[in-house]
Amino acid sequence: MGQPVREYLLTLCVTVAVTYLLTGPVRKFAIAAGAMPEIRARDVHREPTPRLGGIAMFGGMCAGLLVADHLQNLNAVFERSNEPRALLSGAALIWLIGVLDDKFELDALIKLGAQMIAAGVMVMQGLTILWIPVPGIGTVALTQWQGTLLTVALVVITINAVNFVDGLDGLAAGMVCIATCAFFLYAYRIWFGYGIESAAPATLFAAILMGMCLGFLPHNMHPARIFMGDSGSMLIGLVLAASAISITGQVDPDTMALFVGGERNATHAMLPVFIPLLLPLTIIAIPMADLVLAIVRRTWNGQSPFAADRGHLHHRLLELGHSHSRAVLIMYFWSGLIAFGTVAYSVHSASMWIVLSLAALSALGLVLLLMPRFTPRAPRWAHGLVPPRYRHAERAAEAAVREDEGVEPQPARPVVAGVSGVNGATAVGPRSRFPDRRKAGSAR
């Protein structure tokens, strides 16, 4: 078991490194190519930011698949299954459409058609849903047309759920990474816990997807230097859907029944990832809820379901008074709670401690959600471990109190050796804070 773990870690690290190193050159290319749209009414960033970050993420995915193909244990995934080739084919198509959209702003119906075609390409190569275990009934086999329609629907729903939530710096990549980490643990447990090798492709896809998100996040955290664009959001949505479909299409519930003591127990054990219609709800519940609310809201207002607006969940967090970073962290918290809570409950569903822990964490999440003006204060001993904005949290809190009391804040006095102005004011660099240096006098 130790060797496959090391191979997964190696694949993950290679994907992270390639994605991270490619993002810088891709940013320069996006600027040169003019993939920097003007600020729109619904945007929360204030400066034009290059897109096309999906190019780096696609390069990281290709590197991860290439490395895995040359490893001793993971090479069996490519020899025994056509799913990696199916994933690469569908991902290349959806990535290409995303690149064109980042540059030329394609119509929403064109993108929807491309998503369906990409899903169909994967289905033609064997990446499809074959059966659905239903609690109390057992395994329900699907016909070819039923499996195809269900697979295409799952891919389209997941892609758009991830695309809809990509509205704040680092939000989509972080949420997908959290959900994929939980999914990786569950798929790995099915493979090595029950000895079912057909779960290996889904485990590999999850490891690569984590690497894509982790490698891109340092460039995408607030303030973002580059956006993933549709080329990235649709790509990671497709890979996430492919991981779920691989589990559903390849792992036989009858095989699970041999390990857990009966078909009904197998159905219960596999329920969190086996019901594809509920998979986006359990793995990416927050993006899925945002998608449903957006469709209802826009349809109610007489707009197209694909029309953009500022009514997403992350926009509402900002309206409540949360900062950009805090809104992202709150979304991370709820995504992790739902994803890891689902996995934990599927492993120990009879444990009351899991239910109580989830309830307590949910209450904590509600408290944080309703306290937008809470300012975190890092202790002095932790200043070296936190970002600079949390090191001066006490000063920021004092400034906020003075502002509420109507006390005018004191202007900052930067110090530059050898250059100063009258009344203790300091001129920074060649430009003084005074329009005319002769009025300010000279330090000489």
Predicted confidence (pLDDT) per residue in 355-372, tens digit? 788 888 888 877 776 666
Average pLDDT, the chain: 76
Q: Examine residue 327 and state whether it is found in any structural domain, yes or no.
A: no
What residue type is 157 in one-letter code? I
Q: Examine residue 60 and state whether it is found in any structural domain, yes or no.
A: yes
36/430: higher pLDDT:
36
Least confident of 57-66, 198-207, 260-269, 364-373: 260-269
Residue 426 is predicted with a pLDDT of: 38
Q: Which two tokens stand for residue 338?
A: 């739902």
Q: Examine residue 435 and state whether it is found in any structural domain, yes or no.
A: no
pLDDT at 118 over 90: yes
Distance CA 19, CA 27 (A): 12
pLDDT at 400 over 70: no
Residue 437 is predicted with a pLDDT of: 39
Residue 198 DSSP code: G
pTM comes to 0.75
Residue 217 is predicted with a pLDDT of: 94
Q: Examine residue 417 and state whether it is found in any structural domain, yes or no.
A: no
Distance CA 370, CA 321 (A): 9
What residue type is 63 in one-letter code? A
Partnered with residue 140 across adjacent β-strands are 132
Identify the band that residue 53 occupies on the pLDDT scale cut at 50, 70 and 90. Answer: very high
Dmax (CA) for the chain in angstroms is 90
pLDDT at 81 over 60: yes
Contact 226, 50 (CB under 8 A): yes
Residue 248 is predicted with a pLDDT of: 74
Residue with tokens 């005074």: 434
Domain of 29, in residue numbers: 2-312
336/289: higher pLDDT:
336
Identify the band that residue 273 occupies on the pLDDT scale cut at 50, 70 and 90. Answer: very low
What residue type is 141 in one-letter code? A
Based on the number of CB atoms within 10 Å of its own CB, is 47 exposed (0-12), middle (13-18) or buried (19 or more)? Answer: exposed
Q: Examine residue 388 and state whether it is found in any structural domain, yes or no.
A: no
Identify the band that residue 83 occupies on the pLDDT scale cut at 50, 70 and 90. Answer: very high
Based on the number of CB atoms within 10 Å of its own CB, is 158 exposed (0-12), middle (13-18) or buried (19 or more)? Answer: buried
Identify the band that residue 258 occupies on the pLDDT scale cut at 50, 70 and 90. Answer: low
Contact 86, 122 (CB under 8 A): yes
pLDDT at 440 over 50: no
Q: What is the pLDDT of residues 344-358, one digit of tens each?
A: 776 766 677 877 888
Number of folded domains that form the chain: 1
Distance CA 65, CA 387 (A): 34
Identify the band that residue 19 occupies on the pLDDT scale cut at 50, 70 and 90. Answer: very high
Give the angle subtended at the CA of 136 by the CAs of 132 and 139, to the nearest 5°.
25
**Cβ atoms < 10 Å from Cβ of 420:** 18
pLDDT at 231 over 50: yes
For residues 58-65, average pLDDT = 97
pLDDT at 218 over 80: yes
Based on the number of CB atoms within 10 Å of its own CB, is 352 exposed (0-12), middle (13-18) or buried (19 or more)? Answer: exposed
Q: Examine residue 371 and state whether it is found in any structural domain, yes or no.
A: no
Angle between helices 54-69 and 200-220 (to 10 degrees): 140
pLDDT at 313 over 60: yes
Contact 415, 426 (CB under 8 A): yes
Identify the band that residue 2 occupies on the pLDDT scale cut at 50, 70 and 90. Answer: low
Alpha helices (H) along 223-284: 229-250, 253-260, 263-274, 279-283
Rounded CA Rg of the chain: 25
Contact 194, 161 (CB under 8 A): no
**Within 13 Å, how many C-alpha atoms sit on residue 432's CB side?**
18
Q: What is the pLDDT of residues 143-201, one digit of tens each?
A: 889 999 989 998 998 898 888 778 778 888 998 998 889 889 888 888 877 777 888 89
78/386: higher pLDDT:
78
Q: Examine residue 368 and state whether it is found in any structural domain, yes or no.
A: no
Distance CA 89, CA 335 (A): 29
Give the angle subtended at the CA of 253 by the CAs of 246 and 356, to the nearest 5°.
85
Contact 104, 37 (CB under 8 A): no
Calculate the alpha carbon distances from 196 to 79, 188, 276 in Å. 16, 10, 20
Distance CA 228, CA 174 (A): 12
Q: Examine residue 63 and state whether it is found in any structural domain, yes or no.
A: yes
Residue 212 is predicted with a pLDDT of: 97
pLDDT at 435 over 50: no
Residue 422 is predicted with a pLDDT of: 36
